[in-house]
Structure formats: C-alpha cells, structure tokens
Amino acid sequence: MLLIHCPYCEDDRPELEFANAGQAHVVRPSHMSEMSDEDFEGMFFIRDNPKGVNLERWRHIHGCGRFFNAVRHTVTDKFLKVYRAGEPRPTDAELAELLK
C-alpha cells in the first residue's frame, strides 16, 4: 500500500484514502469541436504509460477531496514530488533533478 503525501492536507496518508485519476496534464482544449479525430484520440485514449517517471493525478477522495498531481517512478513506485492541481508541470530539468 502506497503512502501518499497530500499537498493540501500536508500529511502522509495511506493509499486507501486516495483514488488514482490517471495521467496528469492532459489538456482539454477550450474549442473541442475544432479538434481532429486524431487529436481527440490523443487526448482521450493515448497515454504516456512510461517505465520511469510518471506524471499522474490522484484525488484525496476519502480526505480533503482535492485532486492533485504527483511525480512517481513506475519501477520503484516511489513518489518524487506532489503538487497542487493547476501548478505547472515540472520541467524536464526539474524531473532529472528529482531522479538524482
């Protein structure tokens, strides 16, 4: 069972309090109807699914109820960073730094 730090509650809580909400930073365009079928497929179906650093969303569903983002390594399952929804995606340089 993962131990997850909620950036809103600022506490480590067991995974049972959370729900994974899939890949982070998938952009829903404001003018959806202008999207091509390929772009729609990219947004709705295609996933990074990386072996390594993954940017993913969690919801503290049985806690504060907030959605937030996390950087987690998918081989060790270690959390490298959590940050609130709406905060920018860490840059590649920042991610490389986290991995050290």
Partner 1 sequence: MTRIPARGSRLGTKTISFTFDGKTYEGIEGDTLASALIANGVHLMGRSFKYHRPRGAIAAGAEEPNALVNVFRDSARRQPNVRATVQEIYDGLKAESQNRFPSLAFDVGAVNNLMSPALVAGFYYKTFKWPAKAWDHVYEPFIRRAAGLGEAPTEEDPDHYANRYAHCDVVVIGGGPAGLMAAKCAADKGNSVIVCDENAAFGGWLLSDTDLRVDGMSGAEWAAAMVAELQANDNVRMLNRTTGFGYFQQNMVGLTERITDHVSRPAPDLPRERMWQVRAGRVIIAQGAIERHMVFPGNDLPGVMLAGAAQTFLNKFGVPVGERIGVYTACDTAYAAAFDLYEVGCEIPVIVDHRTEVDAQILKQAEDLGIEVIKGGHISEVTGRLRIGGIVVKSGADTEREWDVDALIMSAGWTPSLHLSSQSRAKPVWDETRGIFLPGESPQACICIGGCNGTDELADVFAQAAESVGGKAPKCKIEDDVSTSGGMSGATGDSLQKGKAFVDYQNDVTAKDIALAVREGMHSIEHVKRYTTNGMATDQGKLSNMHGLAIAADLLDKPIPQVGLTTFRAPYTPTTFGGFVGHTKGSLFDPRRKTPIHDWAAENGAEFEPVSLWDRAWYFPRRGETMHEAVDRECRTVRETAGIFDASTLGKIEVAGPDAAAFMNIMYTNGWDKLKPGRAKYGIMCREDGFIYDDGVVGKLAADRFHVTTTTGGAPRVLNHMEDYLQTEFPHMRVWLTSTTEQWATIAVQGPRAREIIKPLVKGVNLNSESLSHMSVSECEICGVPARLFRISFTGELGFEINVAADYGRSVWEAVWARAEPLGACVYGTEAMHVLRAEKGFIIVGQDTDGTVTPHDAGLSWAIAKSKPDFVGKRGLQRPDLVKAGRRQLVGLKTSDPKKVLQEGAQIVANPDQPIPMDMLGFVTSSYWSGTLKHSIAMALIEGGFDRMGEKLYVPMEDETIEVEVTGSVFYDPNGDKVND
Partner 2 sequence: MKKFNVFSLARETLRGHKGWGKQWDNPEPKKQYDVIIVGAGGHGLGTAYYLAKEHGITNIAVLEKGWLGGGNTGRNTTIIRSNYLYDESAGLYNHSLKLWETLSQELDYNVMFSQRGVMMLAHNVHDVQSAQRHVHANRLNGVDNQWLTPQQAKEFCPPLNISKDIRYPVMGAALQKKGGTARHDAVAWGYARKASAMGVDIIQNCEVTGINRSPDGKVTGVETTRGTIGAKQVGVVAAGHTSVLMEMAGVRMPLESYPLQALVSEPVKPCFPCVVMSNAVHAYISQSDKGELVIGAGTDSYVSYSQTGSLHILQHTLDAIIELYPIFSRMKMLRTWGGIVDVTPDRSPILSKTPVQGLYVNCGWGTGGFKATPGSANVFAHTIARDEPHKINAGFNLDRFKTGRLIDEAAAAAVAH
Q: Rule CB under 8 A: is residue 98 a binding residue for partner 1?
A: no
Q: Which residues, other chains included, contact 1 with Cβ-Cβ below 8 Å and sequence gap of 6+?
A: 14, 15, 16
Q: Rule CB under 8 A: is residue 19 a binding residue for partner 1?
A: yes
Shortest distance, position 75 Cβ to partner 2, whole Å: 5
Binding segment toward partner 1, per CB under 8 A, in 48-56, 70-78, 88-96: 70-78
Radius of gyration for the chain, computed over Cα atoms and rounded to the nearest angstrom: 15
Per partner kind, with CB cut-offs from 5 to 8 A, the member of partner 1, partner 2, none near residue 72 is: partner 2
Rounded to whole angstroms, the Cα distance separating 3 from 17 reads 10
